Amino acid sequence: METSKDEPHLRHVELDVLIPKMMREKAKERCAQHVNAFTACCKDSGFLMPFKCREENATLKECLTRHYKDPEFFQECKQEYIQEKLEYEQTGIPSKSRKQKLPTSM
C-alpha cells in the first residue's frame, strides 16, 4: 500500500475499511454471474443449500478472492476513492447524492 507524494494522506479507516468495502462491492459486480448462479441455487435448494450449492459457492468465493487479493484492483479502487473524496471536499455533496440528483430529462 504505497502512497505517492501526489496522493492525499489516507487515514487508517480509509485504507482498512472504506476502500476494502468498495472493493467488495465492485468484486460482486465483476463476479455477477457467479453471484446470480449461487443465489439461484440457494433459492431452488431450500434447506439442502449447503450440500447442493457447494460448487456455486466455491466458484463465487474463488472469483471474489481473486479480486480481493489483486494489488492492481486495490489501486484502482483506491484511486476511485480518492477521486470521490476530492469531489466531496470540493462540492460538499456525497457521490451517491450527486449521482441520484442528476436530472433525467430537460
What are the backbone dihedrals phi and psi of residue 13, each rounded to the nearest 5 degrees, phi first? Answer: -65, -30
User: Is 88 a residue whose pLDDT tops 80?
Assistant: yes
What are the tens digits of pLDDT across the range 33-47?
999 999 999 999 888
Widest Cα–Cα separation across the chain: 53
In this predicted structure, the answer to whether residue 79 has a pLDDT above a threshold of 70 is yes
The residue with greater pLDDT, 52 or 97, is 52
Question: Containing domain of residue 89, as a range?
Answer: 12-94
Give the global pTM: 0.74
Evaluate if residue 1 carries a pLDDT over 80.
no
45 domain residue, yes or no: yes
Is residue 103 situated within a structural domain? no
Q: Is residue 1 part of a domain?
A: no
Burial (CB < 10 A; 0-12, 13-18, 19+), residue 78, is buried
- Collapse the DSSP code of 72 into the 3-class scheme (helix H, G, I; strand E, B; otherwise coil) and give the result: helix
Q: CB within 8 A of 67, min separation 6: which ones?
A: 23, 26, 27, 30, 31, 73
